[in-house]
Structures are given as structure tokens and as C-alpha cells.
Structure 1
Amino acid sequence: PKLRAKGAGDVIFLLLSEDAVSGSLTTDNLSRFASRRLFERLQQLEVVRELSGRPTFRLFGL
């Protein structure tokens, strides 16, 4: 499936290169709200999984 977020490529690159990525990650093209929606979408597609188990601070990894 296609990811429509402008900063999705940066997030995918970080996921492939890092062990864990913060769910509130911000980049030049991605706000923290857009990041949260992107990670929720990736989690629905079963591409990433939540590593932290905490609702207030979420870490995601492959």
C-alpha cells in the first residue's frame, strides 16, 4: 500500500536503520500529529509494532 504522508520516506529509512523510533518523531516534512497517524497506519498494516507498551510515550520498531 502507498503511504501518502510527505515524510513517510524519512520515517521508513529511520525504521530500517534504527532499532526503535519514537512515535512522536518530527521531521521537516512531518509534524508529530502526522507522525502519530503514520505510525498508527503502519501498525494497522502490521509493518511495525509498538515496543514500549505505554500509551503516553510510544516506541516503534520492525
Structure 2
Amino acid sequence: MRAKGASDVIFLLLNEDAVAGSLTTKSLSRYAARRLFERLQLLDVVRELSGRATFRLFGL
């Protein structure tokens, strides 16, 4: 992935059971994280676990 904070997100996905879709890091805003998770979901890399539209959890 070419997003600046993608490596942080991938690290968290590999080490945690679920990661919030609104995750923020130093180099990734909450909106960028949402777009990254949507892109990863389209590529079938992650699954949306919560089934809710307002608060989404993603995991492998």
C-alpha cells in the first residue's frame, strides 16, 4: 500500500484481533484510515467485523 501510515495499520492488523476503522496515527488521519480500510476490504485483505455503519471494526 502506498499510503503514508499503511505500515502502522498493517502492523496493528497482524498483532491485534480487531482494529477500529477510525484509527489515527501520526501520519494517518481518521479519514485516510477509513479510505485505507475500504481499499483493503475491496482487495479482500481485511473483513469488517462489527456489521455496523457508524462504528466499524476490521480484522483479518
TM-score when normalising by structure 1? 0.96
**Per-residue CA shift, 1:21-60, capped at 9, x if unaligned?**
0000000000000000000000000000000000000000
- How many pairs were matched up? 60
Runs (5+) with no aligned partner, structure 2: none
CA RMSD, 1 decimal: 0.3
The runs of at least 4 consecutive aligned structure 1 residues that moved more than 4 Å come to: none
Q: Which residue of 1 aligns with 2:22?
A: 24
Report the identity percentage.
82
What are the within-5 Å matches in structure 2 for residues 1-62 of structure 1?
Answer: 3-62=1-60
Q: How far apart in 1 are the matches of 2:19 and 2:27?
A: 16
